[in-house]
Structure 1
């Protein structure tokens, strides 16, 4: 008699293919699919997912052409010339399987995700609730159909390994009965008889399975017939684990099935009736919501460093924005972001609605609270500065108080960006372009010392030689004469020019009509130094070295 507890395993064949097809459908812009194509049906295209130049998963159409898991990429293409090869991305499998697990947990609590496409749970609770193991399996199949997974299969047996093998079995097998398509139930105590004719590779890793087959042990029944002490002496711990799976024995210590803890939903929302049109009204109404949002994270010892705010108006238009914080969000910070986002909405007459009817706050990035605790020494000055600047920002507006951020660019004015206080710029796909990289490379950019003063708008300047003639730049990007006098705006400096650099050209974005610029550094006899640029036949002062 098996000592393993009854387990129920749900298995979705070819889950990586199913996840890939679903991901491709969403990428093409389809929100919902009324009749999804199952990866196990012949109507699905011949697709194979590749990793390490070997087939990891393939669709039913590909298997019909002879493609099998483990084949090399070239051999799979030879067997099926129309085969579509795509790289296998494990993250897609896990991400697409997470909603399935959440839906199953709503039906049957205590689910353990074995791997993407396979989950397990104890059979005793569902059987008592639904009045038997067969009705419990039928409820799971019905849920799968509503999720667009008609190919899901259920196996129930003594022990996780036996239940998973039952889910993978089609047709008749010893000590089993199939009350409906997609369900295989192994009778209590019949696990050993069910596993006996299965190949030994079902329970043993690849290399170990080859060793056992070389010794003439080709089925699980043959392996189960050996004494466990002899297997331990010959093959060690790996052999004992395989032997216990073959004999359908339960774990020696502990429990075999470990359900995952319930996933807590940290997102909060609030509905308004009548709609709110004023940003101040909306912020005041969301004070309690923001406190509940932060308190929910604090209960799990988490802090929020990035969140998404969704505002939905009465005509169904959703205004969404993601906010990031350099430290962590507090309730006041969250309310401030709500006020700023509501202030940026179009006016009521422009958007055609009466106001906001629903708000939803979702954390997009959380961190452990212990990582954001103050250090050993006091950080009171920093907190005081943040407090006063945040209050000023609340009164003056989101973009009224900010800090400078160094970005990429060749001109000094292009490298400055004002970031609102308490906000971290969220990098999007567009912001990952070369222009956002401060590291460069930026050919033609200023290297070495940077002017201490950079003018927002360059001042007109004049550069003259010793005879008072204006100096220009010739066709070879050289000065037409040695510089001697400098005038910036209406100020003519009495000190003569002492040293100057070689001029260097700055040619960029010519396809957008950007002018060609020549840059020059020079130093006066009094110690002042300037950065000049020459464009359209005139000099301009970009910055000054103090």
Structure 2
């Protein structure tokens, strides 16, 4: 199918140059870990590959692969955890090298930087001459290889950078048309469900999607689909009539004492981001291009602009502030500031109508005014007590009831570190105890003859339990029990047999029966503890 060339006009996006460092998380991890460039490197999150270098791919490692499968394909794979701060810190050298030649540098994400091309191309004698200078400058200053693409709009220029293309002016739609529709699901865009739906409808290429009438796209796919449709057509991400940010939307903060550590900056960024987005929300606006500017104690001025494909949420603003401080405060000697930051300014350099996007951005996933007030209160408590002052639970996978619940500070990413759907041999079956004790309480379990009950080599009880004493207190009659559930893995290592057991205790007086979860270790001299209580 032939897609007509894009006509110039107010809807035509500005011509952009995108510089892309392939596999940047793997490159940054290898640099920090001292791994040679010719060795395979993989970056993992939640036990899955999120990035790898070309050497690892040649050995069969792919994104999304489980760690054990990746290491099975490539036993010499160097394994590193995902670290956004590390990626941003090292990418600051690349952004600084680009900024030395071209003004208006915008960091899209660590590994990807965009600049307006028109003015700089005229100064250096054309786009090709500008690209050659940029490649040489980045290689000399940062020591990394990169690819460059030029086209109208950030989306088309990013895809052009992946294949090193210079798309002719007005031909962005032609360049995009044969590309697969999966290209819409760029990092941070969260369009996986939309892409899957388009594929099931038979729309396999961007050109096929772009050929649909805009009205039909809006009716069928909503605001998210309409934005993706504009990208597929080679148009600007949003309608060009953007409002000029009012001066009062800029948020400035002074620090006393000065900020000299990244963890302090990350904590302060959470509160600033909430206030910044709340100020925009009161005007019905959302920020798509964030300027982060700082002044040090010695009067040094620092600044960087971050562009985002989607309007920034408070968490997105906080992440970019943290990443930028990583780049500033942990830069190489001679490039980092000589003193701490005393003033920070967050400036919404580009905004869009927040309500027209039909996105719930302002309450971290909630929809009530009470949620917003509660979030502000939590941030206030953290300001008084520290980040650990407000903790929220996250359910993880695992065998241990206590280990399955992880507490994370309010505002930190609530991501699972282990999958819930893994087999987890030896995991306690449902229901889980309503109360899991932070410190298990010592106990003793006896049979009818008053002898201690233990676990045999075949993971069975030595005798039916009849009485339980907790912390040396009075014994309570056991009227029912279930289990035992052995903790697997004991056969591969020395030590006593271990298992869990559910006991139903007779009520005291008029009280109803009570169920508890107990743990046993050993056969001849068993050690019992109470780990949880059931409602």
What interval of TM-score do these two structures reach, taking the shorter chain for normalisation?
A: 0.3 to 0.5
TM-score (norm 2): 0.44
TM-score (norm 1): 0.43
